[in-house]
C-alpha cells in the first residue's frame, strides 16, 4: 500500500469502525485475520467476541514482531535501549525469568532464547483474549526477520522458530517473505521441511514486490506441491483492480489463501464476496 493511503487509513479507522468492517468481512466470507502485533490489533482480536456472525471457526494469523514499532524504538533509544525495552517487557510479562535476570550481559545473552521468549510474550497476550471459536492457524515471522535470516543463511532462526511454534502452540509456523524464490531454494538446500510451513508472499500480475521477478516466482510456485502459500499484495498496493487480481490468481492453482486489506464495510463486502465467488473455498 502507498504510504499516503496507509496513513489515511490509520487516521480514519477507529476501533468501532474497524469492528464494523471486520463484521462485514466475516459475513461476506473472510475466514481469517492476518495482523501484526500492533496494540490496535490486540483490541481488534479482543473485540472479535462481540461479532455475532462469527459462528464458525475463524483463523488468526499473527505476524511477529511488529517491526515498524521496533524500528522507531531503535531510533529513539538506540539498539541497546531497544533490547533493554524488550527485556523489560519480557520481565513484566513474566516470560523467561532467567533470560531477563541476565539482562544485557554479553556472558548470558542468548539471541535464540530471546526470540522464543519474545514469541511467547506476544502470543500469550493474544491467547488470553481471543474468542474460543478462533485459533492460531499459523504464526508468521515478519518479512524483515525472515529475509534477514535468509540473506545471512541463518538456518537456526528458521529451525528454532518452526519448532517453537509447532510444539508450543500447535500452530503452523509461517514466514512472510518478499524473496519467495530464494526462500524456497534455501529451505530445499538446507533440508528444511517446506511442507510443514506456511509462506505469505506477494503475487500480482505486475510483479510488484515479487523478487527476483514475477516470472521466477510464478515458475517456482508451479513446481511446488502441498506447500501452503498465502498470496499478499494481490492488488499491488492499490494499483490493480480486484478483477485483474482475481484473474491472475486463477493462474496459481492450489493457493491456500489470499490476504487483502479493506478500509470500509462496502469495500469489505465487495472484496470478500468477489474473492469467495471467484476463488471459492
Residues at the interface with other proteins (CB under 8 A): 2-4, 6-7, 10-11, 68, 72, 74-81, 83, 104-106, 109-112, 114, 144, 147-149, 151-154, 156-157, 178-179, 182, 206-214, 236-237, 239
For the chain, the 3-state helix, strand and coil shares in percent, each to the nearest 5, are: 55, 15, 30
Closest distance to other proteins from the beta carbon of 44 (Å): 17
Helix axes 15-27, 265-279, angle to 10 degrees: 30
Q: Using the minimum distance from each CB to other proteins, give the nearer residue, 157 or 249.
A: 157
CB of 248 to other proteins, least distance (A): 14
DSSP 142: P
Q: Which cell goes with 91? A: 520481565
- Least distance to other proteins, CB of residue 258, Å: 18
CA separation for the pair 179, 187 (Å, rounded): 12
Closer CB to other proteins, residue 15 or residue 104? 104
C-beta closer to other proteins: residue 134 or 146: 146
- The CB-of-144 to other proteins minimum distance in angstroms stands at 8
Going 6 to 9 to 15 to 19, the CA torsion angle's sign is: negative
Q: What pairing do the DSSP bridges indicate for beta strands 228-232 and 58-64?
A: unpaired
Name the residue nearer to other proteins (CB basis): 53 or 213: 213
C-alpha distances (whole Å) from 275 to each of 45, 227, 244, 264 are 23, 21, 12, 16
Nearer to other proteins, 33 or 158 (CB): 158
| Least distance from other proteins to the Cβ atom of residue 103, Å | 9
Amino acid at each position: 500500500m502507498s504510504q499516503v493511503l496507509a496513513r489515511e487509513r490509520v487516521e480514519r479507522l477507529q476501533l468501532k469502525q474497524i469492528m464494523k468492517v471486520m463484521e462485514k468481512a466475516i459475513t461476506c466470507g473472510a475466514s481469517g485475520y492476518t495482523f501484526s502485533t500492533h496494540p490496535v490489533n490486540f483490541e481488534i482480536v479482543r473485540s472479535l467476541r462481540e461479532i455475532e456472525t462469527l459462528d464458525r471457526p475463524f483463523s488468526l494469523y499473527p505476524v511477529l514482531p511488529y517491526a515498524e514499532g521496533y524500528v522507531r524504538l531503535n531510533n529513539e533509544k538506540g539498539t541497546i535501549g531497544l533490547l533493554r525495552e524488550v527485556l523489560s517487557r519480557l520481565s513484566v510479562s513474566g516470560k523467561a525469568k532467567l533470560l531477563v535476570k541476565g539482562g544485557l550481559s554479553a556472558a548470558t545473552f542468548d539471541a535464540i532464547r530471546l526470540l522464543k521468549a519474545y514469541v511467547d510474550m506476544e502470543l500469550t497476550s493474544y491467547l488470553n483474549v481471543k474468542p474460543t471459536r478462533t485459533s492460531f492457524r499459523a504464526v508468521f515471522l515478519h518479512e524483515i526477520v525472515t529475509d534477514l535470516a535468509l540473506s545471512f543463511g541463518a538456518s537456526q532462526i528458521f529451525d528454532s522458530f518452526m519448532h517453537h511454534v509447532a510444539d508450543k502452540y500447535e500452530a503452523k509456523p509461517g514466514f512472510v517473505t518478499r524473496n519467495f524464490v530464494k526462500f524456497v531454494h534455501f529451505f530445499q538446500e538446507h533440508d528444511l521441511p517446506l511442507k510443514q510451513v506456511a509462506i505469505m508472499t506477494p503475487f500480482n500480475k505486475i510483479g510488484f514486490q515479487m523478487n527476483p521477478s514475477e516470472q521466477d516466482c510464478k515458475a517456482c510456485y508451479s513446481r511446488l506441491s502441498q506447500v501452503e502459500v498465502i498470496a499478499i499484495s494481490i492488488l499491488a498496493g492499490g494499483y490493480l483492480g480486484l478483477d485483474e487480481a482475481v484473474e491472475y490468481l486463477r493462474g496459481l492453482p492450489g493457493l491456500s489463501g489470499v490476504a487483502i486489506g479493506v478500509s470500509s464495510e462496502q469495500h469489505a463486502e465487495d472484496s470478500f464476496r468477489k474473492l469467495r465467488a471467484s476463488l471459492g473455498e
